[in-house]
Amino acid sequence: MTNWLALTLLGALVLTGWDCSVSLPPTNQAHIRANVRLKEEVLPPYASRRFYTIENNETANFLVLKIEPALWSWGLAEDPAKPKSVAAWREASGATAVLNAAYFTESGEPSGYWKNTPTVPVSAISWPKKGSGYTGTVMIKDGALALAYLPSDAPDPAKSDAIFLTFPTLIADGRPLVEKETGLKSRRTALAEDQSGTDYIIITEEGIVSLHQFSRWLSEQPERFTRAVNLDGGPSTGLSLKDGGEALEIPSAPVPNVLLLRRR
């Protein structure tokens, strides 16, 4: 199987709701219920909590964090041999905030193209020679984040300090892209940009949604996101933030790669 076919197969599996990360046993899912306590906590000024009524009185709620590029610097970290929770990653890295990033294989390597200067790519999958619908790109240059959509965008991986491919792109040019409703639901993590170039983290705090529902909901938010990409989800979904006196914790399963945020 070629590298491109492998990435395409990964995309098809993710779109149908398949999680590439290692699942947690049911006894470790108590953190989902524990997140109820966050509703009583005061959020940082750049964060908001939003509720989504899905169907049959089912609800989900998300945390939306507005990340001003002038105030924050992005980075990547990976350790396939020693996956850690997002809280453990934050403590080990000294970052202000950490969230889950790319899909990964059972051996802990990224499932798609991954580059993190100055380390060598830890994935054997090369950059695709042809564009593919739904494929999203997360790029970091001098600490600044940018998102792209293949095939309409043509990012050059050589021009980024760090970059990885993910799936699917949820919004491109302000339009929701996930047209098929599979009914398969999970916890979700996404990155988004608005028209001004401001970055956003959107992460499930409680509840589960399908990719179709997530894409539509994001397109209806007041920020009018121009780009949004889905990251690894399910038990990998997690956020750990300690910013002065502000703190947020959405516990995750151990993950081998993460996105880092530091104050500039």
Q: Give per-residue pLDDT as tens, 181-232.
A: 999 999 999 999 999 999 999 999 999 999 999 999 999 999 999 999 999 9
Total of domains in the chain = 1
Mean pLDDT in residue range 239-260: 97
Name the band, by pLDDT with cuts 50, 70 and 90, for residue 62: very high
Mean pLDDT in residue range 162-175: 95
Q: E strands of the chain, at which residues? A: 47-53, 59-67, 72-78, 97-100, 114-116, 136-141, 144-149, 162-166, 169-172, 175-176, 189-193, 199-206, 227-230, 239-243, 246-250, 257-263
Name the band, by pLDDT with cuts 50, 70 and 90, for residue 134: confident
Q: What pLDDT score does 108 carry?
A: 94
Average pLDDT for the chain: 86
Q: CA-CA distance, 242 to 179, in Å (whole number)? A: 37
User: What range does the domain containing 128 cover?
Assistant: 3-263
Mean pLDDT in residue range 238-262: 97
Helices H / strands E in the chain, number of each: 4, 16
Q: What pLDDT score does 127 carry?
A: 84
Beta bridge partners of 46: none
Handedness of CA 132, 166, 162, 79 (dihedral sign): negative
In contact, 253 and 28? CB cutoff 8 Å: yes
Whether the pLDDT of residue 166 is over 90: the answer is yes
Q: Which residue has the higher pLDDT, 171 or 22?
A: 171
Across 52-66, 197-211, 247-261, least confident range: 52-66
Across 16-20, 127-131, 149-153, 237-241, least confident range: 16-20
Q: What pLDDT score does 56 carry?
A: 81
Name the band, by pLDDT with cuts 50, 70 and 90, for residue 95: very high
Q: CA-CA distance, 143 to 260, in Å (whole number)? A: 10
Q: What pLDDT score does 161 carry?
A: 94
